[in-house]
Structure 1
Amino acid sequence: MNPSLHGKVALVTGASRGAGKGIATALGAHGATVYVTGRTLNEGDAPLPGTIGATAAAVTAAGGTGIAVACDHRNDAEVAALFERIDREQGHLDILVNNATFLHDELIHSGGFWEKSPDLVNILDVGLRSAYVASWHAAQRMVKRNNGLIVFTSSFGANCYMHGAAYGAQKAGVDKFARDMGVDFRPYNVAAVSIWMGMLQTDRTRRVMDSEPEKYAGFWDMAETPEFTGHIIAAIYNDPQRADKNGQVLIGAEAAQGYGLTDAGRSMPSHRPMLGGPPEPSPAIVV
């Protein structure tokens, strides 16, 4: 175990499986106490494997302390109760990872957005609105202590066409959250960043690849582990120049290279040459 986050408290939303589970487990490997939220309490309740209890156990097994909390991030009252519980049990919060989202099975189907279910728009409620609400709660606590890191999990779909309009709008939205919240955080030792992850080695990805093995031949070996982003987050939190990252949209693979991090021994390439990079924001500030 790398105890670089010993004594630190993190919250990872949407952590029953996938990216959230990997990030939470990695933060646990750095010694953090990690609250993991989600809606899946029992195996079989969701179409993919994973529960918040299993993720909490993985965090603890990795060397941290995992705490599972059932929370529907569409419900503002449940989110408020979550932060109040962290206050009672820990007294502070150091890291918030906004990962909860809604991924419809039709997301990767071909065709125009009007040919898919209108329910795809729910990604804006769960993946965008809920991230704002959680950040609102976290920011009040972090600013008071003059310390903290808020992370948004994002992707290259924020700037290139990927999976259609709803997905792209959600990713572009959390990138904008990081940029603008970063402006508000400048007087404090709090940073907001958005991290573009690459393709991930998750059960969802495996299911998609198995459905069209020829189309996705070789892609699995190129994909990032879900833990990779968690190690990047730990490095950013512990960076003496963390304030320099505030308000930035980062390509995870590039940030990892800057910190000398590998992914299970692999040096992960940036997809910037193929998919583009984050657009340069205007320095103007209108209040």
Structure 2
Amino acid sequence: MTAGTKPLSGRIALVAGATRGAGRAIAVQLGTAGATVYVTGRTTRAKVSEVGRSTETIEETAELVTAAGGEGVAVPTDHLEPGQVAALVDRIDRERGRLDVLVNDIWGGEHLVAAGFGKKIHEVNLADGLRMLELGVKSHLITSAAVVPLLIRNPGALLVEVTDGTADYNGTHYRENVFYDLAKNAPIRMAFGLSRDLEPSGGTAVSVTPGWLRSEQMLETFGVSEENWRDATEKIPGFGISESPVYLGRGIAALAADPDRARWNGRSLSSGQLAKEYGFTDADGSQPDCWTFLLAQEAAEGVSPADYR
């Protein structure tokens, strides 16, 4: 793909929460498609967030975006601080005069989920539970409230709420504990509401979920790397449906480049669904469909992840 044929050349994107995992991959894939991508997060080369992972920084993400063929701009931002988010929006407006894509991927609460996994509301540390809601809900609301005025200035903008689970799956399954369940269902409803706010300007808002994501943190948890991740399936066969962060990144880049994306407005989408629609694959050439697999596994015995890749 030459510079002249890149579908997102000239587009300006903001990936909020792009330090690692899905956010980093989304930013890089938007850059691969030619976009200028502002990447934000709390971990920089000078400061580490509460997640405690100094090995991934927003500066590195920005460099990866540029190396992929876009332009990466790292802006340290705590999205729970309205003043910092307002300053970010003002900078984008000053430097570019527009914003075409907002990806709300702010989270950083996996360490809180692990501590409260499967616990009842009174068993979860209340401070941890409320922190999940701050990270997964309040930060998204602060960001959208500040960014939408710039986003709707030009017709056809795209706003993506990244979450865990589709509306169909989360609507019938309880997710880990009440705090996590709320934190991951809220972005689905936010995208539905924001679709109404963007529609008059020709904009589109959707929620998008990866499947079982092989983030840097997840790979470490299972003691494998991206090169030998299948070794983990010996102990946990279901890990065979997992996907690399690249998969979701390609999905959102394809969505951003689709001139007819308004047909998705207000919808809950998944990486597997987008792959079938737009014809892309994961890094290994497969098309994992995690959420369909999970439902099929519940309905019948002997269902294999290999049948859904």
Query: What is the TM-score when the length of structure 1 is the normalising length?
Result: 0.88
Give secondary structure in 2 for the equivalent of 1:11.
strand
Q: Which residue of 2 aligns with 1:33?
A: 36
Deviations 1:168-207 (A, max 9, x none): 1111111001111112322221000000211111121113
Q: Which residue of 1 aligns with 2:14?
A: 11
How far did 1:242 drift? Answer: 1.2
Q: How does 1:30-179 map to 2 (within 5 A)?
A: 30-42=33-45, 45=48, 47-48=52-53, 49-108=55-114, 109-118=117-126, 119-156=128-165, 158-159=170-171, 160-179=173-192
Cα 1:106/1:91, change in 2 over 3 Å: closer
Q: Distance in 1 between matches of 2:67 and 2:153?
A: 32
Give secondary structure in 1 for the equivalent of 2:73.
strand
- Does residue 268 of the first structure (1) align with residue 288 of the second (2)? yes
- Does residue 257 of the first structure (1) align with residue 276 of the second (2)? yes
Q: Distance in 2 between matches of 1:187 and 1:152?
A: 19
Q: Distance in 2 between matches of 1:252 and 1:228?
A: 7
Q: Distance in 2 between matches of 1:44 and 1:130?
A: 20
Gaps of 5+ in 1: 277-287
Give secondary structure in 2 for the equivalent of 1:115.
coil
- Does residue 237 of the first structure (1) align with residue 256 of the second (2)? yes
Deviations 1:146-171 (A, max 9, x none): 22100011122743222221111111
Q: Distance in 2 between matches of 1:165 and 1:275?
A: 21
AA aligned to 1:228 is Y
* Greater displacement, 48-57 / 141-150: 141-150
Q: Distance in 2 between matches of 1:250 and 1:120?
A: 26
Give secondary structure in 2 for the equivalent of 1:69.
strand
| Cα RMSD for the two superposed structures | 2.2
Aligned residues of 2:271 and 2:289 also touching (Cα < 8 A): no
Q: 1:184 aligns with which of 175, 197, 201?
A: 197
Cα 1:34/1:216, change in 2 over 3 Å: farther
Give secondary structure in 2 for the equivalent of 1:23.
helix
Q: Distance in 2 between matches of 1:222 and 1:15?
A: 24
Q: Distance in 2 between matches of 1:216 and 1:186?
A: 47
Cα 1:248/1:110, change in 2 over 3 Å: closer
How far did 1:52 drift? Answer: 0.6
Q: Which residue of 1 aligns with 2:306?
A: none
AA aligned to 2:123 is E
Give secondary structure in 2 for the equivalent of 1:68.
strand
Q: Distance in 2 between matches of 1:218 and 1:203?
A: 19
Q: Which residue of 1 aligns with 2:301?
A: none
Cα 1:215/1:80, change in 2 over 3 Å: farther
Aligned residues of 1:106 and 1:116 also touching (Cα < 8 A): no
Gaps of 5+ in 2: 225-231, 297-309
Aligned residues of 1:106 and 1:117 also touching (Cα < 8 A): no
Moved >6 Å (runs of 4+): none
How far did 1:92 drift? Answer: 0.7
Q: Which residue of 1 aligns with 2:229?
A: none
- Report percent identity of matched pairs: 35
Q: Distance in 2 between matches of 1:105 and 1:36?
A: 22
Q: Distance in 2 between matches of 1:22 and 1:168?
A: 24
Give secondary structure in 1 for the equivalent of 2:72.
strand
Q: Distance in 1 between matches of 2:13 and 2:180?
A: 26
How far did 1:272 drift? Answer: 2.7
Q: Which residue of 2 aligns with 1:280?
A: none
Query: What is the TM-score when the length of structure 2 is the normalising length?
Result: 0.82
Q: Which residue of 2 aligns with 1:23?
A: 26
Aligned residues of 2:213 and 2:244 also touching (Cα < 8 A): yes
Q: Distance in 1 between matches of 2:123 and 2:223?
A: 24
Q: Distance in 2 between matches of 1:102 and 1:122?
A: 10
